[in-house]
Amino acid sequence: SSPPLPADTRLVLLRAQQHLEADARSLDLDVTFLSDPGEPRGATDEPGFMTMPGVVLFTSGSTARPRPVYRRTDALLRLAQTLVATVGLPRGCGLIGAVPLAGALGLNTGLLAAAVLRSPLALLDHFDHKALLRLFASREYQFWAGTPMMADVLGRCPLPGAHPAPPICVFAGRLSADVARR
């Protein structure tokens, strides 16, 4: 890849991908194999959370096609810690992840923020406005990060009953005055 991945970057493979191990090790990658379901797993076999040097994420594609970018793990964790401190999220509060984890916004405001806070995370595998509104209506979640398009869709949904948004919502981009009002 360009730029090249740092030496000792962890590559996680399924057992069925064992044929890739030699190539990965020739690139100085640290290879870890996932346990098969049902295979016993001891505490000493499991690596700590986010112990790899970094991850490859994808840009949003707002100005061009999404492209892969390498981000250091320590920088991502600091960013998640800064986010939760800046918006004042308390430890254990519920978060909603509705943006794909393959991008920085989804990873930072979803999985990493929940991990930093040791909080429950409602993770949607794709944007589904009805599922998201059901999560809002549960009142179990205090934080949601979305995009202006998601806010626009939600603002156009005439549904019976209350579906209040969580008290803290973060958007990746500018909302028009009309979308913000709705």
For residue range 115-153, list pLDDT tens digits in order.
Answer: 999 999 999 988 888 899 889 989 999 999 999 999 999
Q: What is the CA radius of gyration of the chain?
A: 19
Residue 120: per-residue pLDDT: 94
Lowest model confidence (mean pLDDT) among 64-68, 112-116, 165-169: 64-68
Q: Is the pLDDT of residue 60 over 80?
A: no
Tokens 């190539």 belong to residue? 23
**What pLDDT is recorded for position 35?**
65
d(Cα 147, Cα 136) in Å, to the nearest integer?
16
**Which letter does DSSP use for residue 20 in this model?**
G
Q: Could you tell me what percent of the chain has a pLDDT over 70?
A: 88
Q: What is the mean pLDDT of the chain?
A: 84
Contact of 88 with 168, CB cutoff 8 Å: yes
One-letter amino acid at 19 equals H
Residues 34-40, mean pLDDT to the nearest whole number:
58
**What pLDDT band is residue 37 in, cutting at 50, 70 and 90?**
low
pTM of the predicted model over 0.75: no
**Residue 157, SS3 per DSSP:** coil
Q: Give the pLDDT score at 161.
A: 67
Q: What percent of the chain has pLDDT over 90?
A: 25
What's the CA gap between 110 and 122, in Å, rounded?
Answer: 9
State which amino acid sits at residue 98: A
Q: Between β-strands 143-146 and 168-171, what pairing exists: parallel, antiparallel or unpaired? A: parallel
* Per-residue pLDDT at 1: 64
Please report the pLDDT score of residue 150 as a whole number.
92
**Are the beta carbons of 92 and 118 closer than 8 angstroms?**
yes
* pLDDT-derived band at 96, boundaries 50, 70, 90: very high
Angle value at C-alpha 117, between 153 and 12, nearest 5 degrees: 85
Amino acid letter, 110: G
